[in-house]
Amino acid sequence: MRAGHLVGLLGAGLAMGLAAPLAARPLQIGLSAMVTSLDPHFYSITPNNSAAFHVFDRLVHRGPEGRLEPGLALAWQPLSETTWEFRLRPGVTWHDGQPFTAADAGFSLARARHVPNSLGGFENLVRPITAIEIIDPLTLRLTTATPTPTLPSDLSFIAIVSAHLGRDATTADYNAGRVNIGTGAFRFLRHVQGDRIVMARNDAWWNGRAAWESVTLRMVPNIGARMASLLAGELDLVEAPSASDLARLRQHGDVLIHAAPGSRVAYVNPIFAPAPNAPAITDRQGRAIEPTPLGDRRVRQALSLAINRQAIADRLLLGTGTATGQWLPPGSYSAVPDLDPPRFDPARARALLTEAGFPDGFRMTLTTANDRTPYAVEITQAIAQMWSRIGVQVSVEAIPFAVYSARGQRQQVSAYFGSLNNPSMEAGLLLRNLLMTVNPEAGTGTFNWSRYANPALDRLAGRALATMDGAAREGLLIEAARLALADVAFIPIYQFQNLWASRRGITYQARADELTLGADAQDASRQDTQ
């Protein structure tokens, strides 16, 4: 749907659908991307986690600002550099009435490490754990192979599932809804593949009853359709409202905008070891260039300098993203201090290409998902135009996320435009997942589709990730980040602002981790009348 059509709908929606009072019906949430699995340990992407965390709790939760909070664990402490103890919350029951115990927590951490055909994101978080001890029904003790200061943070990503139902359950069982019994704010009711997930309130939730009797997660990747459904009153809360309509929406009392600085960074990632069936990078005559020119740091520097990050932030994101040259917001723990975005310098970029032996540039394909994050296709097209000015001719390949992620994992692309959420709010998570050498035994490189490998970075990041002292760890993380950025291991472009829009009377606690959780939405209209 084009922006002009959306503006027309905006006026109609404000005059018609949104003027109606809130009805006694489920909270209808519009997700901006597809939920690809209901198995909470199968694939760590934000839509999957948003769906899972309605039904399943974690040992450690995160508040909207990203701070760690008690979840199913009331408290945790290190007993030594390699031993952590978690005291669990008493009186918690599963949705079927069975009591939650440490055995469920231990089972869940073990299961997250061994989900067949998992697409990644969880196994690396529990890989450091070498022993799980059930001290008593409400005490869990974890031993790690090396000092793991981020263990409580890492466990904030791991859904706790029931041992009594999950012992022999497969991913197919979760996707079919047969074993989706949690301790969370909502009980699973049904799932319509690619369309919606329906849940009912868990009145016995340990954290208090949610405001809504039920929540429906609707999957609406198309931004125009999502906004039109909000304005027509079919959705109550939506992710990622249209940036072009924010100013107009904010002028009306019938729509509320909820915003928070995000922890996701968008980037271009060159593939250092492309598969034989990846799109070839060729010279102007169509002859394949081998090895890939993206393996030359001067070429990567040229591509980075040829991107006008500020123009992307201003003209495409319309202020809903911030140009960056790193992966953490300035001032964050372990963000590189005083690091501005790379200066837009096409003349220097052309000189670097000439130095690298490509005075005439080359031809390549840049791949992105067309249904995952707002404006990804438009931004990829803009990058292609910018690169054309230094002689790099780009074909943009925009494909569904399911295809994009499968091909990316197999290095069947030449380079891709993507993004990674970093709700840990420190540099180590991205280092471990995106840039450290792929090593399943060490739990590194889970999303290192590029197959970047830098032994010096591995050593430095490994030291940082095993340093218990917070100040010392921050210094090592900053040093590792500087090394990776100097090598142009990937090309950061902008950081997201997380946005939601809701109907009048519904408020939402905007979250740094970009999760959309029904329990965080409040019905202000009912509060006013009570």
Task: Tell me the C-alpha distance between 58 and 70, whole Å.
Answer: 9
What one-letter code names the amino acid at 383? I
Residue with tokens 């032994």: 455
pTM: 0.85
Residues of the chain with pLDDT under 70: 1-25, 526-530
Q: CB neighbours of 466 closer than 8 A, spacing ≥ 6?
A: 146, 147, 148, 149
Model pLDDT, residue 121: 75
Residues 264, 31, 197: CA angle, nearest 5 degrees:
130
Q: CB neighbours of 297 closer than 8 A, spacing ≥ 6?
A: 487, 488
Structural contact between residues 132 and 104, judged by C-beta atoms closer than 8 angstroms: no
What one-letter code names the amino acid at 455? P
Task: Tell me the C-alpha distance between 496 and 160, whole Å.
Answer: 29
Task: Tell me the C-alpha distance between 100 and 57, whole Å.
Answer: 11
How is residue 279 written in tokens? 């799109």
Task: Tell me the C-alpha distance between 474 and 477, whole Å.
Answer: 5
**Residue 218's closest CA among 194, 200, 242?**
194
Model pLDDT, residue 9: 43
Domains and CATH numbers, the chain: 1-32+185-254+504-530 (3.40.190.10), 50-163 (3.90.76.10), 262-496 (3.10.105.10)
What one-letter code names the amino acid at 31? L
- Rg over alpha carbons for the chain, rounded to the nearest Å, is 23
Distance of CA 179 to the CA centre of its chain: 25
- Specify the DSSP element, H or E, that contains 166: helix 163-166
Model pLDDT, residue 12: 43
Model pLDDT, residue 20: 44
Model pLDDT, residue 433: 93
Model pLDDT, residue 248: 86
Model pLDDT, residue 526: 63
Residue with tokens 């590792």: 480
